[in-house]
Amino acid sequence: MRPHVQQTLNLTQQWLQRYCWEILPHTAHSPDLAPSNFHLFGPLKHHLGGMAFETEDDLISELRNWFDNLDVDFFRMGMNSLLSRWQKCIDLHGYYVEK
């Protein structure tokens, strides 16, 4: 494993342990279980709709502003949705949960 990948992995594991997050196993290719796919990208796409950016820095600034202003409940709802989708995926023996 490349050193920077191992370093990132170590930092992530430390963060998860510090906040007592349980690490759950999942299939490598399971779009139904990726919170970013079903909870994050829709609202982000809606927020950015119609905007134009002159520079990459302008886009990054807007993204930071959007993330900084999200309420903690936004993330809580995403994680709660993940739990129900996870259970559906288990009940369906790994088949896609929703299309």
CB 85 within 8 A of CB 97: yes
Closest by Cα among 40, 22, 29, 23 to 81: 40
Name the pTM for this structure.
Answer: 0.55
Residue 93 CA: distances (Å) to CA of 10, 30, 38, 44, 83: 31, 12, 20, 31, 15
The verdict on residue 53 lying in a domain is yes
The residues near 1 (Cβ < 8 Å, ≥ 6 apart) are 9
Q: Catalogue the E-assigned strands of the chain.
A: none
**pLDDT 10s digits, 32-76:** 566 666 788 889 999 999 999 999 999 999 999 999 999 989 988
**Total domains, the chain:** 1
The verdict on residue 3 lying in a domain is no
The verdict on residue 19 lying in a domain is no
- Range of 53's domain? 27-91
The verdict on residue 20 lying in a domain is no
The verdict on residue 71 lying in a domain is yes
The verdict on residue 98 lying in a domain is no
